[in-house]
Amino acid sequence: NSFTDTFIRAELISFVHDPGNGDTPKAGSLEHYGDGLLWLKGQHIHAVGHFAELSPSLPKGAEVLDYHDKLIMPGFIDTHVHYVQLDIMASYGRQLLDWLNDYTFPEECRFANHAHAEALSNAFLDEMLRAGTTTAQVFGSSHPGSVDAFFTACQKRQLRMLVGKVLMDRNAPEALMDGASGIADSERLIEDWHGKQRLGYSVTPRFAPTSTKIQMDAAGALLRNDPSLWLQTHLAENSGELDWVAELFPGSRDYLAVYEEAGLVGPRSTFAHGIHLDNGMRKRLADRGANIAFCPSSNLFLGSGLFDREAAKETGMAFTYASDIGAGTDLSGFGTLKAAYQVGQLGGQPLTAWQGFYGLTMGNAKALSLDSHIGQLAPTLEADFVVIDTQATSLLSRRISHCTTLGERLFALMMLADDRAIYETWAGGICQHRRDV
Ligand code: GUN
Ligand code: ZN
- Domains in the chain: ranges and CATH: 5-75+375-434 (2.30.40.10), 76-367 (3.20.20.140)
Question: Using 50, 70 and 90 to split pLDDT, how confident is the model at 198?
Answer: very high
Which atom of ligand 1 is the closest one to the Cα of 85? 6
Taking CA atoms, 329 is separated from 36, 297, 326, 380, in Å, by 34, 6, 7, 35
Answer whether 82 contacts ligand 1 (Cβ < 6 A).
yes
- Phi, psi angles (nearest 5°) of residue 50: -70, 135
Q: Which of 75, 78, 82, 80 is nearest to 134 (CA)?
A: 75
Which atom of ligand 1 is the closest one to the Cα of 139? 6
Q: Judge contact between 306 and 338, C-beta under 8 A.
A: no
Residue 326: cis peptide before it, omega within 30 degrees of 0:
yes
Half-sphere exposure of 397 (CA within 13 A, CB side): 8
Q: pLDDT by residue (tens digit) across 218-237? A: 999 999 999 999 999 999 99
Q: Looking at this predicted complex, what is its ipTM? A: 0.99
- pLDDT value of position 35: 98
Largest CA distance in the chain: 71
Question: How far apart, in whole angstroms, are the C-alpha atoms of residue 73 and residue 60?
Answer: 27
Which atom of ligand 1 is the closest one to the Cα of 324? 9
Query: What is the DSSP code (8-state) at residue 234?
Result: E
Question: How far apart, in whole angstroms, are the C-alpha atoms of residue 242 and residue 110?
Answer: 28
First to last CA, the chain: 35
Answer whether 298 contacts ligand 1 (Cβ < 6 A).
yes
Q: pLDDT by residue (tens digit) across 368-410? A: 999 999 999 999 999 999 999 999 999 999 999 999 999 999 9
CA–CA–CA angle 281, 211, 301 (5° rounding): 65
Question: How far apart, in whole angstroms, are the C-alpha atoms of residue 246 and residue 249?
Answer: 5
Q: Judge contact between 96 and 241, C-beta under 8 A.
A: yes
**Beta carbons within 8 Å of 185's beta carbon, 6+ residues apart:** 144, 165, 178
Residue that wins the pLDDT comparison between 3 and 202: 202
Q: Which of 4, 82, 94, 90 is nearest to 42 (CA)?
A: 4
Indicate whether 2 pLDDT > 70.
no
Atom 5, ligand 1: which residue's CA is nearest? 100
- pLDDT value of position 437: 76
Question: How far apart, in whole angstroms, are the C-alpha atoms of residue 257 and residue 232?
Answer: 16
Centroid of ligand 1 to alpha carbon of 125 (angstroms): 20
Q: Round the average pLDDT of the chain to a whole number and report it.
A: 97
Q: pLDDT by residue (tens digit) across 83-141? A: 999 999 999 988 999 999 999 999 999 999 999 999 999 999 999 999 999 999 999 99
Which atom of ligand 1 is the closest one to the Cα of 237? 10
Question: How far apart, in whole angstroms, are the C-alpha atoms of residue 321 and residue 2?
Answer: 37
Centroid of ligand 1 to alpha carbon of 245 (angstroms): 14
Question: How far apart, in whole angstroms, are the C-alpha atoms of residue 7 and residue 63?
Answer: 7
Answer whether 80 contacts ligand 1 (Cβ < 6 A).
no
Q: pLDDT by residue (tens digit) across 412-435? A: 999 999 999 999 999 999 999 999
Indicate whether 240 pLDDT > 60.
yes
- pLDDT value of position 3: 83
Q: Judge contact between 320 and 368, C-beta under 8 A.
A: yes
Which chain residues have CB less than 5 Å from ligand 2, an ion? 272, 324
Answer whether 207 contacts ligand 1 (Cβ < 6 A).
yes
Beta bridge partners of 292: 271, 319
- pLDDT value of position 1: 53
- pLDDT value of position 68: 86
Answer whether 235 contacts ligand 1 (Cβ < 6 A).
no
Residue 64's identity, in one-letter code, is: V
**Beta carbons within 8 Å of 151's beta carbon, 6+ residues apart:** 161, 163, 189, 192, 193, 196, 199
Answer whether 151 contacts ligand 1 (Cβ < 6 A).
no
Q: pLDDT by residue (tens digit) across 135-187? A: 999 999 999 999 999 999 999 999 999 999 999 999 999 999 999 999 999 99
Residue 73's identity, in one-letter code, is: M
In this structure, are strands 199-205 and 230-235 parallel, antiparallel, or unpaired?
parallel
CA–CA–CA angle 178, 81, 431 (5° rounding): 125
Taking CA atoms, 288 is separated from 143, 292, 297, in Å, by 30, 12, 27
Centroid of ligand 1 to alpha carbon of 326 (angstroms): 9
